[in-house]
């Protein structure tokens, strides 16, 4: 019999002790700020890979470990989230890379439900961009502590103090730099470590493919070595001290401040400091609230939730991988757990630790860990899994789609492959798949946040399932949740149509805000519930 939740059994102490070692975080930013490059550099500094392929498709270098999809390698951007797990010092790091394009913000949001902290990358030249601001807002709303990294300091950019002012004024977070650059943007020599006053000097390596050598100098030696650049760095650091920009762990965890580091991920400058800061300052997993808002103890029996489903990672097996975030207890490979949404058992015989596209079998996992469950056709995004003690975690938010298109099989003889591909994409959340009485099951409608999702869906349908499709755009731009009682009137309204998702939810689609507004004004009795906006705000 399992011990009561929250008990101090020997097994419970082991679980809590292992959870304390975990650091689970996401790397987030505006597109092209260097997320995947930083992910690769972190893995390189943790000595889990021997060589980085940080710049996509340039000079023959490899794509990054976290970018495995063919389209990602070709375009040099991340269009799906990826998980990497590795050990560093005495910690177990679960690093989640996120899509770089705003069209895939829904995937980013799902990842943010599974992490305890976030690393926000800011381009030194561009500062806080639109997607950066939206992601800051999401982290603040979810209570996720944020560590800020000013990336690309090896290139010309804004002044460091100007960037700190921008972070403070636009995010409401107080920046508390832990390192300060020596040398202006574009002349990155090293950093002043504000915690001990030392100077860390970086030396470039060929193409940034290996760990950059680092030398540590005391202040006197740094002054002699760097001259005016060191003087400027120390004067600016003293100014920060006078304004109270010093790290306070409680304020950081409360989401009031953000520690700041300066780096060049492509050159592997400052990446080692980030790894140490993550281990030293980022929070370990804590009791996660269930769907009633009650914290579920770490030492309760095993529980987890599915935050991502991905197929097509192994082209030889066409399997389906469900990423779960362990929330409590011990996961043991082979255990039979219950899917809270269906009440049905699920056997975890094939459980894997994920490192980009590479995988290896994992026997046990603890709170904070990300585990890949293979052959997970019965699992969907947002499902809760548990053993012994029932629990349900809050559902994962589905965003309001803004673009719609009818998908048709280009070759009717491939209809079986067409259906399998459609069902797979719907289960993963790559697109929302809608059907309507007007068109029937043979002409499903893809509903997406951004048009690039259409490209991904078309590419995968052709290359993974052998079912090339054509897409016919529809004029709708707005979606509202409705019910069966309202569906009849809505379907007959001008500029509107009602469609059904696989989960049974009914969506009313409208061509524009004017059509929706007129309907709401003339027929206030109809059920029209707004969905979460896709701008992450």
Which residues carry a binding-site annotation?
97-101
Q: What are phi and psi of 127, to 5 degrees?
A: 70, -145
The separation between the first and the last C-alpha atoms of the chain, rounded to the nearest angstrom, is: 45
Write b or e for each residue in 512-527: b if 16 or more Cβ atoms lie within 10 A of its Cβ, otherwise e.
eeebbeebeeeeeebe
The tokens for 217 are 């100098």
User: Do 175 and 168 form a contact (C-beta atoms < 8 A)?
Assistant: yes
Q: What single string gives the DSSP state of each residue in 29-83?
A: ESTTSSHHHHHHHHHHHTTSSSS---STTSTTPPPPTT--SHHHHHHTS--S-EE
The tokens for 291 are 């769907």
Q: CA angle, 98 as apex, 284 and 395 as ends, to 5°?
A: 70
What is the distance between the alpha carbons of residues 505 and 480, in angstroms, rounded to a whole number? 10
Q: What are phi and psi of 130, to 5 degrees?
A: -55, -50
98: which DSSP letter?
-
User: Do 411 and 456 form a contact (C-beta atoms < 8 A)?
Assistant: no
Annotated binding site for GTP: 97-101
What is the distance between the alpha carbons of residues 75 and 307, in angstroms, rounded to a whole number? 25
What is the distance between the alpha carbons of residues 490 and 499, in angstroms, rounded to a whole number? 11
Q: What contacts 275, CB < 8 A, 6 or more positions away?
A: 42, 45, 46, 88, 93
Q: CA angle, 306 as apex, 305 and 307 as ends, to 5°?
A: 110
What is the distance between the alpha carbons of residues 337 and 325, in angstroms, rounded to a whole number? 14
């Amino acid at each position: 019999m399992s011990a009561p939740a929250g008990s101090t059994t020997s097994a419970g102490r082991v679980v809590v002790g292992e959870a304390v070692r975990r650091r689970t975080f996401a790397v987030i930013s505006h597109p092209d700020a260097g997320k995947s490059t930083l992910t690769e550099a972190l893995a390189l500094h943790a000595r889990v890979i021997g060589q980085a392929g940080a710049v996509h498709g340039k000079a023959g270098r490899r794509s990054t470990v976290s970018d495995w999809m063919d389209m990602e390698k070709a375009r040099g951007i991340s269009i799906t989230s990826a998980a990497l797990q590795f050990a560093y010092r005495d910690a177990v790091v679960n690093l989640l890379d996120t899509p770089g394009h705003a069209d895939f913000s829904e995937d980013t949001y799902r990842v943010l439900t599974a992490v305890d902290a976030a690393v926000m990358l800011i381009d030194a030249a561009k500062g806080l961009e639109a997607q950066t601001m939206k992601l800051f807002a999401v982290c603040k709303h979810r209570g996720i502590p944020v560590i800020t990294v000013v990336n690309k300091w090896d290139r010309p950019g804004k002044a460091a103090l100007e960037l700190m002012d921008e972070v403070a004024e636009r995010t409401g977070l107080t920046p508390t730099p832990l390192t300060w650059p020596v040398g202006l943007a574009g002349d990155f020599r090293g950093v002043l470590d504000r915690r001990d006053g030392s100077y860390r000097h970086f030396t470039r390596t060929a193409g940034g493919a290996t760990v950059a050598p680092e030398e540590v100098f005391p202040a006197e030696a740094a002054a002699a070595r760097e001259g005016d650049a060191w003087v400027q760095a120390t004067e600016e650091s003293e100014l920060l001290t006078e304004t109270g920009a010093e790290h306070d762990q409680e304020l950081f965890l409360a989401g009031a401040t953000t520690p700041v580091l300066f780096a060049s991920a492509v050159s592997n400058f400052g990446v080692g400091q980030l790894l140490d800061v993550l281990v030293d300052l980022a929070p370990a997993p804590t009791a996660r609230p269930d769907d009633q808002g009650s914290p579920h103890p770490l030492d309760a029996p095993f529980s987890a939730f599915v935050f991502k489903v991905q197929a097509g990672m192994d082209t030889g097996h066409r399997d389906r991988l469900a990423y779960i975030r362990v929330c409590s207890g011990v996961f043991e490979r082979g255990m039979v757990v219950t899917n809270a949404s269906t009440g049905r058992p699920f056997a975890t015989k094939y459980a894997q630790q994920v490192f980009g596209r590479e995988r290896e079998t994992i026997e046990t996992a603890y709170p904070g860990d990300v585990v890949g469950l293979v052959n997970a056709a019965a699992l969907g995004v947002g499902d809760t899994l548990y053993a012994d003690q029932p629990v349900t975690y809050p559902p994962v938010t589905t965003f309001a789609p803004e673009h719609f298109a009818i998908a048709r099989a280009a070759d009717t003889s491939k209809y079986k492959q067409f259906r399998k591909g459609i069902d797979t994409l719907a289960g993963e959340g790559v697109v929302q798949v809608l059907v309507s009485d007007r068109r029937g099951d043979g002409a499903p409608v893809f509903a997406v946040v951004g048009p690039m999702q259409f490209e991904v869906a078309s590419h995968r349908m052709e290359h993974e399932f052998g079912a090339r499709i054509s897409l016919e755009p529809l004029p709708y731009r707005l979606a509202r949740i409705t019910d069966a009682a309202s569906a009849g009137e809505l379907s007959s309204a001008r500029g509107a149509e009602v469609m059904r998702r696989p989960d049974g939810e009914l969506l009313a689609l409208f061509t524009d805000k004017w059509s929706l507004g007129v309907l709401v004004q003339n027929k206030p009795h109809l059920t029209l519930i707004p969905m979460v906006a896709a701008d992450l705000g």
